[in-house]
Amino acid sequence: MPSFHYSGINRYGERLRGVIEGKNIADAENKLKSSRVDILSIKQKSAGLTLFRSKKITRKEIITITFQFEQLMRAGVPLMEILVDLRDSFDNHATKEMLSSIYQSMEGGEGFGTALEGYKSVFGEVYISLVKVGEQTGQLESVLADLGEMLKWEDEMIAKAKKVMIYPAIVGTVVIAVVVLMMLFVVPQLLSFIGEMGGEIGWATKSLIATSNFVQAYILHLLIMPFILFAVLKAWLKRSVAFRMAFDRFIFKVKVIGPILYQLKIARLSSALAIMYKSGVSFTDAMKMAASVVGNAHIEASINTAVRLVQEGEPIHKAFEQASVFPTLGVRMLKVGERSGKMDEALLNVSYFYDREAKESIEKIEPAIEPLLTIVMAVIVGWVMIAVLGPVYDTMTQVDF
């Protein structure tokens, strides 16, 4: 939807400047008029300006906004004043625009949750639904406090998952880059020296020559191919539901990393379900919304199966067991929560348990990664040394002194 820069005067006589979205300029003007803003000027925002000034709204900014909303509302500050204060406190132009748009929507008579719907990609369906529930029940401050804690915890979990995957990827990339540079520049010079010496060439030297020739002949293909494969994989995941399902299932089976990612997904799902259930959302509706939070097609399909089973009359823990949403231990915790009537506490316990399991696994893996990659590098360097020094040694032994 196009954006429009405007300036005007509100019903209190205050001068306003901001950005508003609309289907066209007439739609934008109608929105401003419904918010009782007398328009002084309005023009469409240029695409080039957006390219340079707009930045992505970060997760940390959403966490900050949520916590500040909760704290200021508890202090008795009106919601509209909070929006103005927050808008002026951020440097990110995209965040300022978002808060201005929410303010305008609310000034036009919309509720807070409805105003957030224009930024569903930023806040997410669960966040917006819970805000609406908080408005209806008069517990918006409590809901925002729970949402802030959930977002903060999710941010920590994402950081953990990245830590597991990014560090080996970076170090592995460095190792591969070193090997490629050796094959392109160092090894050819060493091999030309060996060729001048003559003598018999062993298996290590032959394999090194073959590897060096292959890298030099196909270096462009080797550099471009990973990007092509990534682009193809990304496009296929978007277009094929069956492939995305199979890929997401396969991710969990990858040794070492797969189980950790699965534990983090289960922890995130449990936390989201607990907060929604505590806020008064029905369990089936909470499950449907939580399916979108997980970000894994395989688990999402399992949740949808569990929803259908619950709607058919199955107990929640049985539905989760049959649909393989939770592991056995998680199902047992859920069973206790269902029988005791403390489902939110049971879900938080599931979240805590699998979060702790993931943390412990990460702590075990991290110290082992560096020595393992060092060994790999040592093997490669050893192979090059044997390939180079072997013929030199053979030649030296044949010389009569």
So where are the chain's domains?
Answer: 1-54, 153-401
Quickly count: other Cβ atoms within 10 Å of residue 165's Cβ. 13
CB-based contacts of 331: which residues, under 8 Å, 6+ apart?
317, 320, 321
Distance, CA of 324 to CA of 317 (rounded, Å):
10
Amino acid found at 167: Y
As to burial, measured by CB atoms within 10 angstroms (0-12 exposed, 13-18 middle, 19+ buried), residue 88 is exposed
Token couple for 24: 């066209």
- For 206-217, the pLDDT digits (tens) are 887 888 888 888
* 224 or 169, which is more confident: 224
Backbone dihedral angles phi then psi of residue 202, each to the nearest 5 degrees: -85, 180
**Is the pLDDT confidence value at 395 over 70?**
no
What's the pLDDT at 197? 64
Contact criterion met (CB below 8 Å) for 334 and 317: yes
Query: What is the token pair recorded at 104?
Result: 């305008």
**Reported pTM:** 0.68
Fold match, 1-54 / 153-401? no
The DSSP result for 305-364, as a single string, is HHHHHHHTT--HHHHHHHTT-S-HHHHHHHHHHHHHT-HHHHHHHHHHHHHHHHHHHHHH
User: Which is more confidently placed, 316 or 291?
Assistant: 316
Residue 91: phi and psi, rounded to 5, are -90, -30
Q: What end-to-end distance do the CA atoms of the chain give, in Å? A: 86
Q: Which of 90-99, 167-176, 296-305 is predicted least confidently?
A: 167-176
Residue that has been written with the tokens 């619950």 in this structure: 310
Could you tell me the pLDDT band of residue 51, with boundaries at 50, 70 and 90? very low
> Is pLDDT of 232 > 90?
yes
d(CA 202, CA 12): 89
Are the CB atoms for 204 and 386 separated by under 8 Å?
yes
Q: What is the pLDDT of residue 50?
A: 43
**Cβ–Cβ < 8 Å for 54, 93:** yes
* 153-401 fold: Receptor-associated Protein (1.20.81)
Among 107-116, 176-185, 330-339, 387-396, the minimum mean pLDDT is found in 387-396
Q: Are 277 and 343 within 8 A, CB to CB?
A: yes
382: tokens are 């050893």
What SS3 state is found at 44?
strand
CA dist 321 and 328 (Å) reads 7
CA-CA distance, 255 to 266, in Å (whole number)?
A: 18
Phi, psi of 206 (to 5 degrees): -60, -45
Selected from 1.10.3470, 1.10.1760, 1.20.120, 3.10.20, the CATH number assigned to the domain covering 1-54 reads 3.10.20
Q: Are 31 and 104 in contact (CB under 8 A)?
A: yes
**Per-residue pLDDT reduced to its tens digit, 78-109:** 888 888 888 888 888 888 888 888 888 887 77
Can you say whether the dihedral through the CA atoms of 239, 244, 247, 248 is positive or negative? positive
Give how far Cα 46 sits from Cα of 26, 64, 144, Å.
17, 29, 35
pLDDT at 292 over 50: yes
For the segment 109-140, what is each residue's pLDDT rounded down to a tens digit?
788 888 888 888 888 878 888 888 888 888 88
The two structure tokens encoding residue 98: 């978002």
